[in-house]
Amino acid sequence: MRIGMLTGGGDCPGLNAVIRAVVRKGILHHGDEFVGFMEGWRGVLDDVTMPLDLQTTSGILHRGGTILRSSRTNVKKISGGFDKCVEVITKHKLDCLIALGGDDTQSISLALVERGVKCIGVPKTIDNDLSGTDACFGFDTAMGIATEAVDRLHSTAEAHNRVIVCEVMGRDAGWIAITSGIAGGADVILVPEVPIDMDEVCRLLKARWDAGKKFAIVVAAEGAKLPEKDQIAVGDKLDSFGHVRLSGIGQMLAEEIEKRTGYETRSVNLGHTQRGGTPSAFDRMLATRYGIAAIDLAHAGNFGRLVVLKGTQITDIPLAEAIAATRTVGADLLHVMKGLQPKG
């Protein structure tokens, strides 16, 4: 087969592991040929490619980022964009296109499937919020980085009798916040799924001070928000998929906490640190399993599908199902979080 591949949306650790697995199985077991499109859908629109073979995909398993680069190019926003994609895919005589990305990227794959292109999707996002799968690769690495940061913040917060608010990624789902907050022993965890109650935040902090601990850690997802208020963003510019750039809830909370409690408070925003660097062993494994599943689907002639993890098994679902809803943090983890906090 001749197979195209691209990585779209925000990068995350593990993309290279998927690319390597797809190419290795495709070449070693089927004699496939590959075309790598650069910078997500932009590479398809502009026909910018790189060769993908055993040599170009060697030595990349442990590397973060993506050898194919990435962008948030939205084909829907470009006049004649889908026709151009179909033209380029036809020119390269592709039998299949494998797109690694989150809901925005997969929404373009789905639109191409409706135009007869044989697409297969691989779920990627550190936010871990794609419905239909129990895990996206990249999330485990981000969770580990955020947990280490929360660990490190403890000693400096304690040394200065401070509250430190740690802002982590997570637009509409607070997976990184709740997992790093629980694993790192944060005193307050704020996720987009539950509006922030400032009285409750201050109650938890005061309870800690009253118990003799004169420092505390708050973990807040970038998408956490006060009731009836918008999420905190940098400017009002939207990206091509209509998202604002979230940032600033941590600093806003720090100011409000200091004002209400009198405790000296600082904030730190982990930002893209969470997306960079080497993938965890779990993410390399998951990414590799997804890659093998994707190339297997291609050879089974099973298109328009997304490879997913259900429990411990890799399987696949229709692309439409994957982008239907955001997978948010459930009641079970919120129950764990509350169980560790003093009762109101």
What is the set of active-site residues?
127
- How many Å apart are CA 255 and CA 262, to the nearest integer? 10
| Paired tokens of 125 | 């996002």
> Shortest gap between Cβ of 115 and ligand F6P (angstroms)?
26
**Cα radius of gyration rounded to whole Å, the chain:** 22
- Residue 9 or 132 having the CB closest to ligand F6P: 9
Written as one letter, the residue type at 93 is: K
Phi, psi of 112 (to 5 degrees): -75, -35
- Residue 171 or 214 having the CB closest to ligand F6P: 171
User: Which residues would be at the binding site for ligand F6P (CB under 6 A)?
Assistant: 9-10, 125-127, 169-171, 222, 245-246, 275
> Shortest gap between Cβ of 222 and ligand F6P (angstroms)?
6
Strands 2-7 and 96-101 come out as: parallel
User: Which H/E stretch holds residue 339?
Assistant: helix 331-339
User: Do the beta carbons of residue 34 and residue 18 sit within 8 Å?
Assistant: no
> Shortest gap between Cβ of 14 and ligand F6P (angstroms)?
13
- Residue 57 or 107 having the CB closest to ligand F6P: 107
- Residue 30 or 245 having the CB closest to ligand F6P: 245
> Shortest gap between Cβ of 156 and ligand F6P (angstroms)?
25
- How many Å apart are CA 205 and CA 224, to the nearest integer? 18
Report which residue's Cβ sits closest to ligand F6P: 10
272 CB contacts (<8 Å, ≥6 apart)? none
